[in-house]
Structure 1
Amino acid sequence: MYSQLSATTSPYISELVESPLEIEGEKLLYYHSATREFQLSEQTTPEDIVSAFSLYTKKSPNFGFAREDVWIAFIIENPHTRSISGYLQFDNPIIDVIDVYYWDQEDHKFKITGQTGDQRDFSMRSLDSRYPNVFTSLPAEQQSFFLIRLNNGGEQFHFGLSFQTSKTILEQDHFHQFFFGIYFGILLFVLLFNVFLYFSMKEKLSLYYIGYLFSLGILQLSLNGFGKEFVWTNSGFLANHINPLFASMGVFFLILFVRSFLQLKKILPKIDRSFVIISYVVLLNSVLSVIPNAHIYYFSVLAINVITLLLTLAIIPVALYAWKQHFKSARYFTLAFLVLIIAVSAFVLKNFGVIESNPFSDYGMQYGSALEVILLSVAIVDRFKQLREKAIKRLNEVNEFRKRINEELEIKIRERTREVVQQKQKIEGQHAELEFKNKEMVSSISYARRIQDAILPSLKKLDQSLPEYGILYIPRDIVAGDFYWLKNIRKDDQNYICFAVADCTGHGVPGAMMSVLCHNALNSALDEVDQVTPGKILDKVDELLKEDLSGTENQIRDGMDISLICWNTTTQEVFWAGANNALWIFSEHKDTIREVAPDKQAIGWGENKTPFTSHAVSLLPGDTLVLYTDGFADQFGGEKGKKYKSRNLKNYILNLQSSALPQLTDQLSEEFSEWKQQEEQVDDVCIMTVRLF
C-alpha cells in the first residue's frame, strides 16, 4: 500500500513501533498558504499532495506568527498484525483551528476524521486533555495517509505532533499536572504573600507586583491550555484574546513595579519618562488586543512579543546602574531579571521560529518566571528591610538630637523660670482686669441687644398685620446688622402694610448701629413720601441715610441691601422693590419659583445711582413670598465645608412650600444647624416668609 509514495517520499513515513510515536518535522510535508490558497476537493489525491507540498527541514514545526492556513501531510505505518486506536495530539494548547483528514482507500478520497482547536468548544476534543487531540484508528499492516489544516490567527505557531494512546496521554497529563501544580502553587503563594505585604505596609510597590503576578498567572493558564480546559471551555473569543491582553497587562504592571522599586524618577528621570511612554503604549496594546479585528489582533500579538523582549533586555542595565548607586536591593532584582531574560528570550525566539522547540524553550518560561517571582519577592522584602533599618537609624538620630535639645532646654527653663513666675503674676493681674472689662462690654452689648429687639416688630403686631408668616432670625453675634421691619400706614384713604428684610453693612456692634439708622430711615421715609410705593420709599431712605452718614471731611462708605413689600389692603395690590436682594415667589399651584430681580445698587453709599424700580406683583391664593438676606446661602458647612448656596435654599423651600409657614421656619432652622455643624457662623441670617392670600 502506498508503494509508489513510499518509494518516492520515504522521509515522511513514520513507522509505529510503540506508543507514543513522535512525528518529527523532517517526517512532514507542508504547504503554507501565504501566497496561494490550497483547496482540498473530492478529486484531491495523495499524489497531488506530494507534488504540491514541500518537505519540512527542521525537527520541530514552527511557522512563527503566520496568520494564514498551514497544511501538513504525513504517513503513519502500522507494522503490527492488529489495528491500533489512538489519538493524534498537538502539544501547543493555543492552536486555534485543527482539521484532520485521512485518505480512505476504499472510496479513494480524503475524509475528515476530527476537528478541534482553541477556537472550538472543548467538548469537540476526543479526549479530555489540555492539548488538542483527534481520535483515529491505524489499520493493521498498512500505511495511513493524513492531511491536516492548521490556523493560529497570528499567535505563536509551533507545535509537536504525536500519535498516542489514551493511557500515554493520561500519564503525560499526570506529569504536567504535577509540574504545573507546583508552578501555579509558587505563583499563588507569592501572590498571597504580597497581598499580605500590601495590607501590612500599604506600599504601592506590592500592589503593582500583585497586578503583575495575577496577569502572569492568567497568561500561563491560557498558554498552557488550562484556561480552555477548565474556565472558558466554550468561548473562542476569550481563548483567542486572553493571551495578548494579559501579556500586555503583565508588562504594564511590571513597568510600574520597576519604576517604583528602582526609584527611576529619582536616579534616572529620563529613563523613567521613557518607561512611562512605554507603559502607555502597552496599555494601548491591551485595548487593541480585545478588538475583534484580525489585522489589529495580529499587530497586538506581534507588538507585545517584541516589547516584552526589548523591555526585558533594557531593564538589566537600568538595574545594574541602580546597584552601582548603592541601591543594595537591586542585586536580587538584577538576578531575577537575568533569570527571566534567559527564559523569555528562549520563549520569544521559539515563537519567532529562531530556535527549535526543546524542553528548555518549552518549559523555560515556567522555570524562569517561578524563580523570578521568588527572587523579586526576596528583593521586595530586602527593600522593606533596608527602609526599616534606615527608619531606625533616622529615629536614633532624632532621639539623640532630641536628647541634646532637651538638655539645652532644661538649662534655659531653669534660667527663665524666675522670669516666668514674675510674668505670670503680671499676666494674672492683666487677666483679671481684662475679664472685668469683658464683662462690662458683654453687659453693654447685651443691653444693646434689648434695644435692638425693641425696634423689631412685635409678634402681636405681626399677627395683627399679616395673615400667615414665618421669620427665621439668627444673629451671628449678640447684636446683628440684619433686621426685619413692618409698619402700617393710611394715606389718601388707602390702607398699606409695608414689611421688609434688610442687611446692613457689617455684623455685631457696627452692623447693629447701622440697622438702627436704617430702621429709623425707613420709618421716616414712609411718613415723608407722597406715594406709598416701594421704589419711592427706597429712594427716600437712600437720601436720608446719605445725610446721616455724610461728614465734613470723610464719608462713611456703608449702606444697606433690602427687599421691601408694600401691600395695599384696600385694593389688594402688592408692589415690591429691592436693593441688591431679590424676591422669591413660590406657587403651590404650579410647583414653581418666580424670582424678581432687584436693582443692582445698595441703599446709602454709591455713585451714578438711579431711582429704584417698583414692581407690581401678581399673586395667587397660597403663593409664598420669601424675603431674605445672604447669610443662609453663604454659610459654610456640610461634609466638604462648602457654601450652602441660594440654589439649594430655593430647592429646599420649594419642597416644603405647602407646609405652614411657622413649621417651614422651624425646618429651615434645623437645616441651617445641620448644615453648619461645627463651622463658625459667617454672617447674620434673616428669612421672612409671608402668605397674603
Structure 2
Amino acid sequence: MNNQNNFLATKLKLIFYMLIGFIVVDIPLGLHREAIMLGVHALIYAPMLYIPYNKKLKNYILHVYITIIVLSFCIVQGGVFSPVIYFFLSPIMSAYLSFGAKVGRYFATAAFVCIVTLFVIGILGLNPFPPLDVGNINIHIFTFAIIMGVGMDVLITITNYNKLRDEAEKILTDHQNEILQQEEELKQQQEEIIAIQEQEIKNEKREKQQYESDKIKAENSLEAIKTSIEYASKIQLNTLPSDKILKDYFAEYYIYYQPKDTVGGDYYYVNNFMGTTIVAMIDCYNQGLTGMLLGTVITSYLDTLQRLPSSPTELIYELHQYIRDNFNYYSNLNERGCNMSIVYIEDHHIIYSGASGIGYIVNENGIMPLKSSDRSIGKTVTAKASIPYKDYEYDISSDDVIILSTDGFVNHKTKKGKVVGHDTLEGLIKGFYNGYHESWKESFEKYITENFAKEQEDDITVLCFNLT
C-alpha cells in the first residue's frame, strides 16, 4: 500500500512538473494564451497536490482534474486534432495501474467522452479558438514537446510501475517464503508436540502398567503380610495360658484381652516352679509385631528358667538386665521400656512386685492397690527420683480377688472423650469379693459396651482371679 501511494504521489507530481515545463516551452514559442491557461491550472493543481486529506479521495480528485486540464488544453490547441490529446493516456494509465480495472475503465470512458466532445465541437465549429497552424514551426516544436512529454510520462509510468511490481513481487515472495518457513516451523513444532504427546502417552501407559503391577505386588504382599500377621496372632494366642491351664491354678478367673491390632504387646503368664505359682502381666510399650516379639522374648525367658528367683523383684531385675544386654536397640528406640506385674503365690501367701504395673486385691475390707515402682524394665535411662523395684507380701483368703491390668484399660477414651481412669477401674472391681467370673465378666462387658469409644489406642488386658 505504501509503494502504491508513493507511485501515485510521484506520478501526480510529475504531471505538475510537466505543467510548469510546458509553460516554460510555450512562452518562447509565443503561445502566451496556452502558457496563461497552464499557469492558472498549475496554481489550482499545486494546492490540491500538497493539501493533506484522505489520500484515496485526493488521488481521485487529482486524476479528474488532470482530465479537465487535458480537455481544456485540447480546446485551446485545436480540439480533437491537438497533440495534447495524447495526455489522456496519463490519467487512464495511472488509474488503471493504481486503482484497478474498474476505475481504469471509468477514466478511459471519461477520456473517450472528452474526445468525442472535442470532435463534436470541432465539427459544429463551436470551438472559440482558432485551429492549429500545422505549418508553423512553433506548432511543430510544441507538438514535438507534447509527444516527448507523453512519451516520458508513459516511460516513467511503466518504469516506476515495473519497479514497484518487482518490489511488490519481492515482498510477496519474501512474505510467502516467511509464511512457508513459519509453516515449516509450525509443522516441526507440531511434529515435536505430537512426538512429545506420544511419548507422554507411552510414559503414562508404562507408568500405569507399572502402577498396576506394583499395586498387584503390593496387594499380594499386603495379603501375605495380613496372612502372616493373622497366623502370628494364632501363635500369640497359643502362647497365652489356655482356659484349661487357668482352671488348674484358679478357682474363678476372668480375662479381658483385646489387642489394638491383630497382634499385640500385652501378655499374661501363669506357671508353677517347685510349688510356687507365678502370675505375670506384661505390657510392652509398642503395639503390633514389635510388642508381640518382645513379649514373646519375655515369656520365653520365663519358660526357660532353670531356677525361679527368690522374689518377684529379683526376677524383674533379671529381666531388666536381660533386655538391656540383649535388646539394647529396642531401648534406644523406646525409652519407656516394658511394664510388668509379677505375683508369687504359695498357699494363701503372695509376694507382689511391679514395674509400672497396675494391681489390686479386693477383700472384705474393700480395694487395696498393690504398690509398684514407677520404673519400666529395659529402659536405658532411669530418673534419679524413681522408686526402685520392691517386694510386697500379703496374706489372702480364697474369697479375695486379685486384679492385674495393663494401662490400656485406664488410658482408654470414653464416648465422651474422657480417659477411663483408675477410679473407674476400682469402681468396677469393688464388688468382686467373694464373687464369680460370670458377674465379673458382666460388669466389664456392660461398662465397655456402654462407655468405650470405638477407636482403640492401646492393647487392653485385665486379669481377675482368686485362689482355690
TM-score, structure 1 length as denominator? 0.36
Report whether the alignment pairs 1:618 with 2:395: yes
Please say if 1:477 is aligned against 2:261.
yes
Match of 1:518 in 2: 298
**Any idea what SS the aligned residue of 1:635 has?**
coil
Structure with greater helix share of residues: 2
The AA in structure 1 aligned to 2:257 is Y
* SS at structure 1 position matched to 2:306: helix
Alignment partner, residue 503 of structure 1: 283
What is the match of residue 368 of structure 2? 594
- CA-to-aligned-CA distance 1:580-608 (integer Å, 9 cap, x gap): 11321112x33x21112201101111336
- Does 1:527 pair with 2:306? yes
Hey, what's the Cα distance between the residues in 2 that align with 1:507 and 1:555? 14
Percent of aligned pairs with the same amino acid: 23
Paired residue secondary structure (1:586): strand
Counterpart CA distance in 2 for 1:424 and 1:512 is 38
Who is 1:680 aligned against? 455
Partner residue of 1:461 out of 245, 256, 259: 245
Matched to 2:463, the amino acid is M
Displacement of 1:555: 7.8
Matches within 5 A, 1:509-658: 509-524=289-304, 526-531=305-310, 533-550=311-328, 557=335, 559-569=337-347, 572-587=348-363, 589-590=364-365, 592-605=366-379, 606-607=381-382, 612-638=389-415, 640-655=416-431, 657=433
1:335 corresponds in structure 2 to none
Match of 1:667 among 418, 440, 443: 443
Per-residue CA distance 1:561-582 (angstroms, 9 max, x = gap):
111110013xx32111101113
3-state SS of 1:631 partner: helix
**d(CA) in 1 for partners of 2:255, 2:210:** 49
Are the counterparts in 2 of residues 586 and 657 from structure 1 also a CA contact under 8 Å? yes
Q: Let me know the Cα RMSD of the aligned residues.
A: 2.9
Contact 1:549 1:555 in 2 (8 A): no
Shift of 1:505: 1.8
**Does the C-alpha gap of structure 1 residues 680 and 424 become closer, same or farther in structure 2, counting only changes over 3 Å?**
farther
- Tell me by how many angstroms 1:424 deviates: 5.9
| Residues 1:449 and 2:233 aligned together | yes
What is the DSSP-based 3-state SS (H/G/I as helix, E as strand, rest coil) of the residue aligned with 1:604?
Answer: coil
In 2, Cα distance between the equivalents of 1:522 and 1:692? 22
By relative contact order (CA 8 Å, sep 6+), the higher-ranking structure is: 2
* 8 Å CA contact retained: 2:399, 2:435: no
Amino acid of the structure 2 residue aligned with 1:489: F
Q: CA deviation at 1:554?
A: 6.4
Output the amino acid matched with 2:447: E
* Partner amino acid, structure 2, of 1:599: S
Q: Following TM superposition, by how much is the alpha carbon of 1:470 offset from its aligned partner in structure 2, in angstroms?
A: 1.2
Give the strand-richer structure, 1 or 2: 1
Query: TM-score scaled to structure 2, two decimals?
Result: 0.52
Q: Find the structure with the greater CA-based Rg.
A: 2
Q: 1:363-421 deviations in whole A, cap 9, x for unaligned?
A: xxxxxxxxxxxxxxxxxxxxxxxxxxxxxxxxxxxxxxxxxxxxxxxxxxxxxxx8998
Shift of 1:669: 3.1
Q: 1:690 aligns with which of 453, 465, 468?
A: 465
Distance 1:620 1:656, change over 3 A: closer
Contact 2:362/2:432 (CA < 8 Å) preserved in 1?
Answer: no
User: 1:481 is matched by which residue type in structure 2?
Assistant: G
- Residue 688 (structure 1) shift: 0.6
Give the counterpart letter for 1:434 in structure 2: A
CA contact (8 A) 1:634 1:643 kept: yes
Specify the SS of the correspondent of 2:351. Answer: strand
Instruction: Report the residue type matching 2:276 in the other structure.
Output: Y
Correspondences of 1:143-182 after superposition (within 5 Å): none
Matches of 1:542 and 1:442, distance apart in 2: 32
Q: Is the 8 A contact 1:577 1:613 kept in 2?
A: yes
CA distance in structure 2 between the aligned counterparts of 1:510 and 1:539, rounded to whole angstroms: 22
Q: How does 1:358-437 map to 2 (within 5 A)?
A: 422=205, 427-437=211-221
Give unmatched runs, 5+ long, in structure 1. 1-417
**In 2: Cα distance, 1:480 partner to 1:499 partner:** 19
Quote how far apart the aligned CAs of 1:441 are: 0.4
Question: Is the alpha carbon distance of 1:427 and 1:659 closer, same or farther for their aligned partners in structure 2, counting shifts above 3 Å?
Answer: farther
Tell me the equivalent position of 1:162. none
Contact kept, 8 Å, 1:485 with 1:500, in 2: the verdict is: yes
Distance 1:474 1:602, change over 3 A: same
Q: 1:530 to 1:430 in 2, by over 3 A?
A: closer
Output the amino acid matched with 1:601: R
Aligned 8 A contact 2:355 2:372 in 1: yes
> Equivalences for 1:32-181 in 2 at 5 Å?
none
Tell me by how many angstroms 1:468 deviates. 1.7
2:116 corresponding residue in structure 1: none
CA distance in 1, matches of 2:419, 2:270: 30
2:328 is matched by which residue type in structure 1?
A: S
Q: Are 1:559 and 1:604, in contact at CA under 8 Å, matched by a contact in 2?
A: yes
